[in-house]
């Protein structure tokens, strides 16, 4: 294992210090327990939008804290759920009378720990709701999950609910919107190589030189099948087919296409794959109206990519386009 780290146990804490130093205008970091909080939190009268999960998927979630997206992110150790007290600290730092929405990726540890934190918040008379995202079409159950896993759709969900909270929507409205997004978004990924968790020191799995893992999870969990490596045209067609036929997305649908690098796949390859996906969707009569291309939900230094499709309507498009100011996503209307 070669990494730019000191002690494996200190990776997340030291990384958060660098994040805080780089983006003091956008966020602050509380240590012990570790929480990334919007610089101007709590924002009076606003629903807080909070997410979190194991580290190693950066910029998810800390890179999405800021105006128009998350009020707080709760980073666990690498590939490890954050503890309930850390989630509770994030709620306390951001949540007022308007309440909070917790966005939880569907992994058993995350679901349990966010649920416990929600109960602690209720005991403090805070109105805290949760939604669980499970957009990965690859497998029905997985190593760390009962039901489908939460993956790339999380980025889109955080952006859209964050925009709704920012414009002043009520907790009822933000929660309903989140459930709507979860119903309209689907993803799938592929790995060419394995990630290495710092405190483990070895790759999470072994792939032969000509093998790829189709339907990979973001922690290296097994996917649908291990298949021979194939040209990008065939591979992207396989990804597009899996996602489109699941919801299904249909001729005439308007969509956001999110082409994500799992970490080590370079942009020159990612844009190549994105171009193929755009063409294949056009062939199916599906209209790509918004795009996101880049490494936004990663798995350490894993080579690979994922595709996420979100069915758009006017409301979701408007919320996607709304201003955002975070370390990883930044634009004005």
Catalytic residue IDs: 57, 219
Q: Which of 87, 235, 286, 312 binds a second copy (CB under 8 A)?
A: 235
As measured in angstroms, the least distance from the Cβ of 238 to a second copy is 12
Residue the block writes with tokens 């499709």 = 309
Residue 63: CB minimum distance to a second copy, A: 7
Q: Which residues pair with 8 in a beta bridge?
A: none
Q: Are residues 117 and 124 in contact, defined by beta-carbon separation less than 8 angstroms?
A: no
If DSSP codes are grouped into helix, strand and coil, which group holds residue 274?
Answer: helix
Q: Which stretch binds a second copy (CB under 8 A): 31-39, 86-94, 246-254, 325-333?
A: 325-333
Q: Return the closest-CA partner of residue 160 out of 49, 25, 45, 62.
A: 49
218 binds a second copy (CB under 8 A): no
Please pick, from the candidates 229, 237, 254, 317, the single residue that binds a second copy as defined by CB under 8 A: 229
| 291 sits near a second copy (criterion: CB under 8 A) | yes
Cα 149 to Cα 153: distance, rounded to the nearest angstrom: 10
Residues in 245-284 that interact with a second copy by CB under 8 A: 259, 263-276, 278
User: For residues 131 and 101, what is the distance between their CA atoms, to the nearest angstrom?
Assistant: 7
Minimal distance, residue 262 CB to a second copy, in Å = 10
- Residue of 156, 184, 131, 179 whose CA lies nearest to 296: 156
Task: Give the shortest CB-16-to-a second copy separation in angstroms.
Answer: 8
Nearer to a second copy, 5 or 176 (CB): 5
The CB-of-201 to a second copy minimum distance in angstroms stands at 11
- 5 binds a second copy, rule: CB under 8 A: yes
| 293 lies in the binding site for a second copy (CB under 8 A) | yes
Question: Applying CB under 8 A, which part among 8-16, 40-48, 150-158, 214-222 lies near a second copy?
Answer: 8-16
In whole angstroms, how large is the CA radius of gyration of the chain?
Answer: 19
The verdict on 233 binding a second copy (CB under 8 A) reads yes
- The span from the CA of 80 to the CA of 31, in Å, is 17
Q: Are 192 and 212 in contact (CB under 8 A)?
A: yes
The residue among 132 and 310 lying less far from a second copy, judged by its C-beta, is 310
User: Looking only at residues 132 through 151 of this chain, which bind a second copy when binding is defined by CB under 8 A?
Assistant: none
Count the residues of the shown chain that bind a second copy, applying the rule CB under 8 A: 64
Residue range at the interface with a second copy (CB under 8 A); choices 147-155, 164-172, 181-189, 232-240:
232-240
Cis ω for the linkage preceding 42 (within 30 of 0):
yes
Closest CA to 262 of 214, 229, 331, 315: 214
**Given 4, 44, 140, 206, the residue binding a second copy (CB under 8 A):** 4
Enter the tokens of residue 281. Answer: 């969707």
Binding segment toward a second copy, per CB under 8 A, in 65-73, 106-114, 154-162, 229-237: 229-237
Work out whether 201 is an interface residue with a second copy (CB under 8 A). no
Task: Provide CB contacts within 8 A for 4, sequence distance 6+.
Answer: none
Residue with tokens 């082409």: 259
List the alpha helices (DSSP H) in 212-261. 232-244
What does the alpha-carbon distance between residue 13 and residue 113 come to, in Å, rounded to a whole number? Answer: 20
With respect to a second copy, which residue has the nearer C-beta, 45 or 208?
208
Q: How far apart are CA 50 and CA 18, in angstroms?
A: 21
Residues 162 and 72: their CA atoms lie apart, in Å, by 11
Judged by the rule CB under 8 A, the positions of this chain that interact with a second copy are 2-7, 11-12, 14-23, 55-56, 58-59, 63, 78, 192-193, 209-210, 212, 229, 231-233, 235-236, 259, 263-276, 278, 288, 291, 293, 295, 298, 300-301, 303, 305, 327, 330-332
């Amino acid at each position: 294992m070669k990494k730019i780290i000191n002690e494996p146990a200190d990776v997340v804490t030291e990384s958060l210090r660098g994040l805080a130093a780089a983006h003091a205008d956008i966020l602050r970091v509380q240590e012990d327990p570790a929480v990334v909080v919007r610089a101007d939190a709590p924002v009076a009268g606003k629903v807080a939008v909070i997410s979190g999960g194991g580290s190693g998927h950066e910029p998810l979630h800390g890179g999405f804290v800021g105006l128009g997206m998350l009020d707080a992110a709760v980073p666990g150790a690498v590939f490890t759920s954050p503890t309930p007290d850390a989630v509770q600290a994030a709620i306390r730092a951001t949540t007022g009378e308007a309440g909070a929405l917790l966005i939880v990726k569907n992994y058993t540890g995350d679901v349990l720990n966010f649920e416990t934190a929600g109960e602690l918040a209720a005991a403090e008379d805070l109105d805290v709701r949760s939604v669980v995202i499970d957009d990965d079409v690859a497998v029905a159950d997985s190593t760390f999950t009962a039901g489908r896993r939460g993956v790339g759709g999380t980025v889109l969900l955080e952006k859209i609910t964050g925009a709704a909270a920012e414009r002043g929507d009520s907790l009822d409205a933000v929660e309903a919107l989140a459930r709507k997004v979860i119903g309209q978004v689907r993803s799938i990924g592929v790995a060419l190589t394995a990630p290495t968790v710092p405190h483990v020191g070895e790759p999470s799995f072994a792939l032969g030189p000509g093998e790829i893992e189709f339907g990979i999870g973001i922690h290296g969990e097994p996917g649908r099948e291990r298949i021979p490596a194939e040209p990008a045209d065939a591979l992207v067609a396989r990804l597009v087919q899996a996602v489109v036929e699941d919801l299904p997305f249909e001729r005439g649908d308007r969509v956001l296409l999110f082409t994500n690098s799992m970490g080590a796949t370079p942009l020159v390859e990612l844009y190549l794959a994105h171009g193929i996906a755009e063409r294949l969707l056009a062939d199916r009569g599906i209209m790509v109206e918004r795009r996101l291309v880049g490494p936004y939900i990663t798995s350490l230094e894993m080579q690979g990519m994922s595709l996420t499709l979100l069915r758009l309507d006017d409301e979701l498009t408007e919320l996607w386009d709304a201003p955002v100011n975070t370390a990883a996503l930044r634009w004005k209307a």
